[in-house]
């Protein structure tokens, strides 16, 4: 188990906006940050991060919490994994208490697979740098490719010894279980035999966006015809090749900063680009591009530039990938390299300035690229040209945004010298749109202006008590331990025998004021979630001198933590309307904390008095005249009290 002092150091050091910024493209929005939800598909940002409160809220999925909660939700870390990740990020030494054998056996299986993968990565690196075979074969190869020592270490490149059980034997010797070596694909088990999958290969660790080793790619350096040149880890609980991009860990910050992602084909393309200075580059690792991989990029940017080899096979693969990127609503451009060059070789031969200039000058819109590529194949054949045009419109049809589709249709019309109407008709057919219905709709929209009576939409009803209870919780969270001077109203009789409220000032903490007032009035929360939060919060505020929301969230159940972040962040996202109309008055910048708290409590009292008057009025209808006189007297007293409360709140009944 991780020692409490380490956990406290992590929470004190970690900056929420920095951690989330590694995974989500955030933009400044006042004192907060906004971004697209990493948990759902959306076009309008609803994900909010508060650097001041060190909490986040995703309004599209309802999730929220502190920095650890984000890592647990986004990276599917366990609590210890999240703490260790943050400790590593901020160079905090992890102090752990001794675990029993039983606790070790109960360790999460996924965590065991991660640990085995991390061990293997370290083993391969040591083999590359510290063994004669590794230096002579692996290190020599990498240096021939032009990789520097710094680059080799940055990408954790390694070498798997050319013996049958080098990794397997060492791992078992160190206490790692064979079943996890088999589950991660590092070891192949056949009946009673076992051997290393990546025997005699140079190794490329494949990391998640958070830097965890998920699997490996291995390249053989001999010319054996029966052996695959590249070999990847098999699918496992931690490695899904369709959901992983090679280099995303090293590229994520640069992608978000540059607002563009270069997409290449191989491991060495990524490494060579990175070494040259272009760091916002990732690879699909030789597999066909998938929607999940594109969505991974979309968390960081909406702009993708596909870089491909000059050979025909590379170009055709790029075209398939382009259509998929367009389908995901991304903006895509392409760039090819001179004959005989690929991203790896071109980056190796050029400086950062030369590479950047080439990319800027030779990048093409996908329509222009596709037209030039397919025109080479069609030449002067009219049938092939017609197929080419349909192929281009097929790509345009995949774009979800109607404005972008129209812009690309016009561009296609210009390039291919064909009528826009023909292209729009083809586009409509491809998108399964009934042109007749579409034209009828257009004619309707072009008719002379008609006055049409529209029904007035009913405004949603506001639950006043729910809103006021919510504000009480928020006041406790923000101002709970602050000491303020409160002006309380004490009910007294004046010389004429009338009930009046006289002010009395005393200094107490905000949570004590709220607690005592609610207790005196015997007010209980009607919302069960607020009731649970209130009980936990009051207990916490009684025990601490300094209250920190981020520390408090860490102690409580995830469901309650999520509700608290919802309370704290809701007003940051929405400008609330109609509250004054509903006699709900929230704190303004000019109000003092004491006024704010008093107003909430008095407003809640006023609301409950209204409810009591309604109950008594209904009771009156069911009773006899003599009883009605008593009920009327009660109603009159409540109305006097309500009048006094509203006078204090400076409102008119």
**Looking at the domain assignment, is residue 84 inside a domain?**
yes
Q: Of the given ranges (161-170, 440-449, 507-516, 531-540), which has the lowest mean pLDDT?
A: 440-449
pLDDT band for position 283 (cuts 50, 70, 90): very high
Q: Residue range 487-515: average pLDDT?
A: 73
Which structural domain range is residue 25 located in?
4-89
pLDDT of residue 160: 97
pLDDT of 632 reads 65
**Backbone phi and psi for residue 623, each to the nearest 5 degrees, phi listed first:** -120, 170
Residue 8 sits in a domain of what CATH number? Answer: 3.90.580.10
pLDDT of 109-162, one tens digit each?
A: 888 999 999 999 999 999 999 999 999 999 999 999 999 999 999 999 999 999
Q: Are residues 224 and 253 in the same domain?
A: no
Q: What is the pLDDT of residue 147?
A: 97
Whether pLDDT at 445 is above 60: no
Q: pLDDT class for 579, splitting at 50, 70, 90?
A: very low
Q: Per-residue confidence at 344, pLDDT binned at 50, 70, 90?
A: very high
pLDDT at 31 over 50: yes
Beta bridge partners of 29: 32
Min mean pLDDT across 38-47, 379-388, 568-577, 635-644 is at: 568-577
> 68 lies in a domain?
yes
How far is the C-alpha of 138 from the C-alpha of 128, rounded, in Å?
6
Q: What stretches of 15-81 adopt beta strand conformation (E)? A: 27-29, 32-35, 47-50, 55-58, 64-65
Q: Residue 58's pLDDT is what?
A: 86
The mean pLDDT value for 594-605 works out to: 80
The b-or-e profile of 64-99 (16+ CB within 10 A means b, else e) is: bbbbbbbbbbbbebeebbbbbbbbebeebebeeeee
Residue 195 has pLDDT above 80, yes or no: yes
Distance CA 433, CA 437 (A): 8
> Do residue 330 and residue 384 come from a single domain?
yes
Clarify whether residues 278 and 182 are in a common domain.
no
Residue 90's SS3 state is coil
- In this prediction, what percent of the chain has a pLDDT beyond 90? 26
pLDDT score, position 464: 78
DSSP, residue by residue, 379-392: TT-HHHHHHHHHHH
Q: What's this model's pTM, rounded to 2 decimal places?
A: 0.61
Query: Do the bridges between strand 27-29 and strand 32-35 make them parallel or antiparallel, or are there none, so unpaired?
Result: antiparallel
* Domain assignment present for 514: yes
Percent of the chain whose predicted confidence (pLDDT) is above 70: 79
Q: Are both 414 and 523 inside the same structural domain?
A: no
Which residues are CB-contacts of 443 (< 8 A; sequence separation ≥ 6)? none
My answer on whether 280 and 403 are in the same domain is yes
How far is it, in rounded angstroms, from Cα 113 to Cα 177?
A: 10
Of residues 547 and 202, more confidently modeled = 202
Highest mean pLDDT among 77-81, 99-103, 139-143, 536-540: 139-143
On whether both 550 and 632 belong to a single domain, the answer is yes
Using CB atoms within 10 Å of the CB of residue 446, give its burial: 0 to 12 exposed, 13 to 18 middle, 19+ buried. exposed
More confident residue, 166 or 596: 166
Asked which of 195, 217, 238 is the last residue of a domain, the reply is: 238
> How does strand 281-283 pair with strand 32-35?
unpaired
In a domain, 99, yes or no: no
Contact 77, 19 (CB under 8 A): no
Q: Are 246 and 267 in contact (CB under 8 A)?
A: yes
The residue among 418, 435, 452 that closes a domain is 435
- In this predicted model, which residue has the larger pLDDT, 158 or 403? 158
Task: Point out which residues pair with 202 in neighbouring strands.
Answer: 159, 219
Higher pLDDT, 537 or 487: 537
State which of 337-341, 452-456, 551-555 shows the largest mean pLDDT. Answer: 337-341
Give every strand in the sheet of 47-50, ordered side by side: 27-29, 32-35, 47-50, 55-58, 64-65
């Amino acid at each position: 188990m991780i020692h409490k002092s380490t956990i406290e150091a992590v929470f004190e050091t970690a900056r929420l906006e920095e951690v989330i910024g590694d995974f989500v493209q955030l933009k400044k929005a006042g004192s907060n940050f906004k971004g697209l939800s990493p948990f759902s598909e959306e076009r309008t940002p609803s994900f909010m991060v508060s650097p001041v409160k060190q909490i986040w809220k995703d309004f599209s999925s309802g999730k929220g919490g502190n920095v650890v909660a984000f890592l647990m939700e986004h990276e599917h870390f366990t609590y210890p994994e999240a703490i260790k990740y943050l400790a590593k990020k901020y160079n905090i030494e992890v102090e752990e208490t001794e675990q029993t054998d039983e606790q070790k056996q109960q360790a999460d299986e996924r965590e065991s697979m991660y640990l085995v993968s991390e061990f293997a990565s370290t083993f391969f690196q040591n083999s590359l740098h510290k063994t004669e075979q590794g230096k002579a074969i692996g290190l020599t190869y990498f240096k021939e490719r032009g990789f520097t020592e710094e680059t080799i270490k940055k990408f954790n490149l390694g070498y798997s010894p050319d013996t049958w059980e080098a990794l397997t034997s060492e791992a078992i010797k160190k206490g790692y279980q064979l079943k996890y070596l088999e589950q991660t694909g590092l070891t192949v088990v056949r009946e009673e035999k076992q051997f290393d999958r990546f025997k005699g290969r140079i190794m490329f660790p494949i990391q998640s966006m958070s830097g965890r080793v998920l699997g490996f790619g291995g390249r053989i350096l001999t010319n054996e015809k029966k052996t695959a040149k590249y070999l990847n880890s098999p699918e496992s609980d931690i490695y899904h090749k369709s959901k992983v991009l090679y280099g995303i860990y090293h590229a994520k910050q640069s992608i978000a900063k540059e607002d563009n992602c270069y997409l290449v084909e191989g491991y060495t393309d990524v490494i060579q680009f990175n070494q040259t200075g272009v760091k916002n580059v990732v690879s699909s690792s030789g597999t066909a591009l998938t929607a999940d991989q594109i969505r991974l990029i979309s968390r960081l940017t909406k702009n993708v530039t596909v870089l491909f080899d000059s050979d025909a096979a590379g170009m055709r693969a790029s075209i398939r990938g382009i259509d998929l990127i367009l389908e995901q609503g991304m903006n895509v451009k392409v760039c090819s390299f001179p004959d005989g060059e690929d991203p790896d070789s071109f980056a190796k031969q050029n400086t950062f300035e030369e590479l950047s200039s080439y990319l800027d000058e030779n990048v093409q819109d996908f329509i222009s690229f596709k037209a030039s590529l397919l025109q080479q194949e069609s030449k002067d054949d009219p049938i092939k040209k017609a197929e080419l045009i349909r192929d281009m419109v097929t790509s345009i049809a995949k774009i979800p945004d109607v404005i972008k589709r129209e812009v690309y249709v016009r561009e296609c019309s210009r390039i291919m010298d064909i009528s826009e109407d023909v292209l729009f008709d083809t586009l409509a057919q491809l998108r399964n749109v009934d042109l007749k219905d579409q034209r009828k709709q257009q004619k309707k929209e072009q008719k002379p202006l008609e006055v049409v009576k529209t029904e007035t939409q009913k405004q949603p009803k506001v639950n006043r008590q729910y809103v006021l209870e919510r504000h009480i919780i928020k006041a406790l969270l923000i101002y709970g331990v602050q000491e303020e001077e409160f002006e309380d109203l004490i009910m007294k009789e004046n010389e004429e025998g009338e009930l009046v409220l006289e002010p009395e000032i005393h200094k107490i903490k905000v949570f004590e004021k709220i607690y005592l007032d609610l207790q005196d009035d015997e007010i209980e929360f009607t919302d069960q979630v607020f009731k649970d939060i209130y009980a936990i919060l009051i207990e916490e505020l009684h025990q601490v001198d300094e209250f920190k929301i981020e520390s408090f969230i860490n102690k409580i159940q995830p469901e309650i933590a999520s509700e608290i972040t919802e309370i704290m962040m809701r007003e940051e996202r929405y400008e609330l309307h109609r509250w004054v109309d509903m006699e709900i008055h929230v704190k303004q910048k000019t109000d003092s904390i004491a006024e704010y708290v008093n107003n909430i409590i008095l407003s809640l009292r006023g609301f409950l008095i209204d409810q009591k008057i309604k109950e008594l009025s209904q009771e009156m209808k069911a009773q006899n005249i003599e009883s009605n006189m008593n009920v009327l007297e009660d109603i009159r007293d409540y109305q006097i009290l309500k009048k006094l409360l509203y006078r204090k709140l400076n409102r008119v009944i």
